[in-house]
Amino acid sequence: MYARRLRNKLETWSSLCREYESRVGSKCHQDHALSAYTLASKTSFFDPISPLSSSFARFVSGSPLYHTLISGQGTPANCSRKCGLEISRLNSKHFEFSHKGSVSGLSTVAKSAKNEEDSRGGNGGKGDKVEVSWIERYLPKGARPYAHLARLDKPIGTWLLAWPCMWSITLAGSPGSLPDFNMLTLFGCGALLLRGAGCTINDLLDRDIDIKVERTKSRPVASGVLTPFQGLCFLGFQLLLGLGILLQLNNYSRILGASSLLLVFSYPLMKRFTFWPQAYLGLTFNWGALLGWAAIKGSLEPSAVLPLYLSGVCWTLVYDTIYAHQDKEDDLKVGVKSTALRFGNFTKKWISGFGVACISSLALSGYNADIGLPYYAFLAAASGQLAWQILTVDLSSRADCNRKFVSNKWFGALIFSGILLGRLVP
């Protein structure tokens, strides 16, 4: 009888999830004993089957509660004790669970652990109201997991990939003239596609790691919303579109662009072998500094392009080391490596050195490209922005690390503005 009552309550909970979906327009997902964060998750929803939804059934099938229910044995007390889940309140408008002593609520104003921009991503604090992204508001349900897989709701990664391209295209322009707008647009679209493809590759190769990391465990492939085969098909689609963009460039740029795929595909594996995956990411993310110049000039000018590329690599080491401090506890548990773990308490000294190298390389690149004085004024402003990040970041705070990481879009914008005005006012 007790087991039957619990079964009825769980069926009611499943109905409430479907009602929540219809009211809020977001999808529900089970995780860690049905916490409120996963009720508000954006990656899956409860398909109405009887007696429980398929998603919820996958959760309970491996739990002691499930086996107690189907055996018809036990009492509510020992059921709750076995699965760590106490049904504390149930009615048609509000349904609360307490899991290991913490109470989470499901209502029209549900609470969740809000993911800040992740980038490549981010991680926020708990207790924030659910924020429904434009993906849930405007895309059909079938397309939402793929949009999340490509991180379309987190544009910071696209900005960080696009800025070195924009710098290079503008620097390669003729003095006194605007940069090639068509080329800027083409590279912007390419950055969006390549960043999405990189995220897909990363999630496919890291799905065994992502499921163990708090910030990444709800990603579509790691959580099971998309199968690896679906991810591979989506990757093929992204690469096909990227090929269409690459074919718009000259032959030299096509070869140069295609060669970057080796870096793109191998980057996710680096954290397993070296404490310097951020340096490898820098080589990958800043390839556009080489490609943009080649797309305009048809060749490379080492004296201007190589310092620009090096500056981007050093910049990446700054922002991605800050970013990696969000996951350092999980990385230690899982056994993956990062510069955050390598530098430890000396992180600020290390990234200060990379910051100085970044600014120095940008200055050398501008000098060799014979750029105008306005460039150096904006370079000074960008130096201040980078120094602010390094000096004020709280490496023990995930939220602050994420804020500083996201602020790098403004560093990129300052450098771009300086190059643009330096070309217009020689």
Domain count, the chain: 2
Q: Which of 58, 92, 113 is the last residue of a domain?
A: 113
CB 423 within 8 A of CB 366: no
Whether residue 195 has pLDDT greater than 60: yes
Strands (E), 181-243: none
- H/E element, 104: strand 102-106
Kindly state whether residue 65 falls inside one of the protein's structural domains: yes
Q: How confident is the model at residue 130 (pLDDT cuts 50, 70, 90)?
A: low
Cα 239 to its chain centre, rounded Å, is 19
pLDDT of residue 31: 37
Whether residue 356 has pLDDT greater than 50: yes
Q: Which two tokens stand for residue 408?
A: 């790098």
Whole-angstrom distance, CA of residue 195 vs CA of residue 193: 5
Chain segment 27-61, per-residue pLDDT in tens: 343 333 333 333 333 333 333 333 333 444 444 44
- Identity of residue 217: K
Of the given ranges (190-199, 214-223, 341-350, 386-395), which has the lowest mean pLDDT?
A: 214-223
- Bridge partner list, 96: 89, 105
- The residue-averaged pLDDT of 158-181 equals 95
Q: How confident is the model at residue 10 (pLDDT cuts 50, 70, 90)?
A: low
Residue 108 and residue 152 in one domain: no
Please state the pTM of the whole predicted model.
Answer: 0.70
Whether residue 85 has pLDDT greater than 90: no
Residue 198 and residue 98 in one domain: no
- H/E element, 256: helix 251-259
Residue 349 and residue 418 in one domain: yes
Residue 67 and residue 152 in one domain: no
Kindly state whether residue 251 falls inside one of the protein's structural domains: yes
Kindly state whether residue 141 falls inside one of the protein's structural domains: no
Q: How confident is the model at residue 204 (pLDDT cuts 50, 70, 90)?
A: very high
Residue 315 and residue 184 in one domain: yes
Tracing tokens 């190769």 back to the chain, one arrives at 205
- The residue-averaged pLDDT of 101-117 equals 34
CATH code of residue 291: 1.10.357.140
Residue 299 and residue 203 in one domain: yes
Residue 235 and residue 376 in one domain: yes
Kindly state whether residue 133 falls inside one of the protein's structural domains: no
Residue 253 and residue 387 in one domain: yes
Whole-angstrom distance, CA of residue 170 vs CA of residue 261: 24
Chain segment 227-239, per-residue pLDDT in tens: 999 999 999 999 9
Kindly state whether residue 132 falls inside one of the protein's structural domains: no
Phi, psi for 284 (deg, rounded to 5): -80, -50
Q: Which structural domain range is residue 171 located in?
A: 147-424
Q: How confident is the model at residue 15 (pLDDT cuts 50, 70, 90)?
A: low
Residue 213 and residue 354 in one domain: yes
Kindly state whether residue 123 falls inside one of the protein's structural domains: no
Number of alpha carbons in the 13 Å side-chain half-sphere of residue 193: 20
Percent of the chain with pLDDT over 90: 61
Chain segment 308-324, per-residue pLDDT in tens: 999 999 999 999 999 99
Whether residue 199 has pLDDT greater than 80: yes
Q: Which among 124, 168, 148 is positioned nearest to 397, based on CA atoms?
A: 124
In this structure, are strands 111-113 and 126-129 parallel, antiparallel, or unpaired? Answer: antiparallel
CB 43 within 8 A of CB 225: yes
Residue 52 and residue 178 in one domain: no
pLDDT of residue 84: 37
Q: Which two tokens stand for residue 389?
A: 């990040």
Residue 179 and residue 314 in one domain: yes
DSSP for 351-397, please give it.
HHHHHHHHHHHHHHHHHHTT--THHHHHHHHHHHHHHHHHHH--TT-
Whether residue 76 has pLDDT greater than 50: no
Kindly state whether residue 321 falls inside one of the protein's structural domains: yes
Non-local CB neighbours of 45 within 8 Å, separated by 6+ positions: 17, 21, 27, 28, 29, 55, 141
If you average pLDDT over every residue of the chain, what do you get? 78
Whether residue 92 has pLDDT greater than 70: no
Whether residue 178 has pLDDT greater than 60: yes
pLDDT of residue 215: 83
Whether residue 249 has pLDDT greater than 70: yes
Kindly state whether residue 136 falls inside one of the protein's structural domains: no
pLDDT of residue 210: 87
Q: Which of 113, 128, 162 is the last residue of a domain?
A: 113
Residue 103 and residue 152 in one domain: no
Q: Residue 101: count other Cβ atoms within 10 Å of its Cβ.
A: 7
Whole-angstrom distance, CA of residue 174 vs CA of residue 180: 10
Q: Which among 88, 102, 91, 89 is positioned nearest to 32, based on CA atoms?
A: 102
CB 257 within 8 A of CB 230: no
pLDDT of residue 29: 38
Q: How confident is the model at residue 118 (pLDDT cuts 50, 70, 90)?
A: very low
Q: Which of 90, 113, 136 is the last residue of a domain?
A: 113
Non-local CB neighbours of 248 within 8 Å, separated by 6+ positions: 186
